[in-house]
Amino acid sequence: MNEIERKKALANEIASIINNLNDTDVRGIWMVAQALYAKQELEKQKEKEKEKQ
């Protein structure tokens, strides 16, 4: 399987997964993504605070 075929297969697999998600799954994933982003932002702020000291 060459590179293009491999990427097409992967894209089709991802599309299939997305199509199978229902609204609850999407909301859950979105909440997790937001929580991870918030955690990352807090860690950045902590680093900045340490640099100031």
* 26 torsion bin: left (phi>0), alpha (psi -120 to 50), beta (else): alpha
CB count within 10 Å of CB 49 equals: 9
Instruction: Write out pLDDT tens, residues 6-49.
Output: 999 999 998 888 888 888 888 888 899 999 999 999 999 999 99
* Contact of 50 with 42, CB cutoff 8 Å: no
Q: What is the DSSP letter of 37?
A: H
Helix then strand count (H, E) for the chain reads 2, 0
pLDDT at 37: 95
CA dist., res. 11 & res. 4, Å (int): 10
Q: pTM for this one?
A: 0.52
pLDDT at 9: 94
